[in-house]
Amino acid sequence: MTRPVSVYVGVGSVMTNYAIDPETGALSARGSHVLPSRVQYGWDHPVLPVLYAACADRGAEGPPPFYLCALRRDEAGDLTPLGETVVLPARPIHMCTDGAGRHVLVAYGDAPGLSVFELGPDGSIGAEIERAEGFEFGTKPHQVRVMPGDGRAVLVARGAKGFGKPAYVEGAFKIVRYDRGRLENVESIAPAVADAPRGFNPRNVDFHPSEPLLLATLEAQNELAVFRMAGDTIDPVPLSAVTILANPDKLFKRQDGGEVHVHPDGRHVYVANRNDGNVGGHSGPSWLNPDPLPVFPGGENNVAVFALDAATGRTQLLQHVDTLGLHPRTIALVAGGKVLVAGNVAPILREDGALVPASVTSFRIADDGRLTLAHKLDLDVGAEKVGWMGVAG
């Protein structure tokens, strides 16, 4: 059964399926599915037509409002529940599966840091793998990714931002083993202070498709760093580290590095620059839009495009492309690598009073890796935000 490529957009607790033309990037809405709480992150099963969603409401009374759901994708890409919904112990911030589709891993910004669940033959969520006593997850994990080979994972602990201040905490790559019925620490990897003069606060990583390279965005440093891997370990000294900003000398508040994706060709890298600052400071819970809408004072919301030399780990900036919205929290590559999609989380006002709505923007990818605008879909999100946007096909 051939299913269309879908872009899934989570606004509040509603996950909507948008069919996307993998050649042109054009988007068209199909069905929606209501989840038990607000969509925080999603991940596509590597083999089966199943999408996993981690959901979180914060501040609600009653039972823990944190869930992990498995959703079956039908022939149109629309979603229906699969198996039992799992209650999670904390607010999930990221999730992934392993390459074989045997496990789903969920990262939390606080304790317990990481959970791993077995997956059934149909993709349904099974038993949780026990954590070793004293499991150590670092400070503020923001992502988990299974390493090539499927036996270990890297939990990306961001640390606490504010380099040079008393509250600053260095981040780390926490390597964990999870495939033997027990979740346990292997090692913690972070560059020495001399190698990270502005601190080390990694947020997201991706792996090269054929070479032993890990690429990481450093959130507070607004940098893209490339690390050599040797088996399941990471050399703490980066091969390269470069700014991801178009104007690094004009830094606005709340300017952060975001998601990173390596193109399937292994020669190009895409990084999201995110800014959701507003005149008068940040206000309101992070998942709700304030009323009235704030005014955006300036900052970079774009995708930085890099050429990558896999032999040396060196990167060369090719392009910055505006995502035409506020804070592209998630970006994704459509299978085949011909289209990139960005999810702009919330509406905001420009200083001239013009409304910039929440949106999903698609870009065609040329053979040289550069992006051109394909399609922009404005979204009326009300008081909610685009919590997650991703691609499945």
Nearest of 17, 52, 55, 56 to residue 33 by alpha carbon? 17
Low-confidence residues of the chain: pLDDT under 50: 60
Number of H helices and E strands in the chain, helices first, is 0, 33
Give pLDDT tens digits for 271-286: 999 999 988 877 666 6
Q: How many whole angstroms separate alpha carbon 300 and alpha carbon 18?
A: 27
CA atoms of 290 and 286, how far apart (whole Å): 10
Domain boundaries, the chain: 98-388
CA–CA gap between residue 272 and residue 255 (Å, rounded): 11
Q: CA separation (Å) from 163 to 157, 225, 240?
A: 15, 18, 20
Half-sphere exposure of residue 387, counting CA atoms within 13 Å on the CB side?
28
Phi, psi of 166 (to 5 degrees): -60, -30
Burial class (CB in 10 A: 0-12, 13-18, 19+), 392: buried
User: What's the CA gap between 333 and 336, in Å, rounded?
Assistant: 8
* Per-residue confidence (pLDDT) for residue 61, from 0 to 100: 55
Q: What is the pLDDT of residue 59?
A: 55
Using alpha carbons, select from 265, 287, 268, 267 the residue that is nearest to residue 276. Answer: 287
pLDDT score, position 228 = 97
DSSP letter for each residue of 48-69: SSEEEEEEE-SS--SS--EEEE
Q: Which token pair is 128?
A: 């949780």
The residue to which tokens 């112990």 are assigned: 89
d(Cα 191, Cα 232) in Å, to the nearest integer? 17
CATH match of 98-388 with 3.30.450.40: no
For residue 193, the model assigns a pLDDT of 66
Ramachandran bin of 200, using left for φ above 0, alpha for ψ from -120 to 50, beta for the remaining angles: beta
Question: Cα 178 to the chain's mean position, in Å?
Answer: 21
Cβ neighbors of 217 (< 8 A, separation 6 or more) are 202, 203, 204, 205, 223, 224, 225, 244, 257, 258, 259, 260, 271
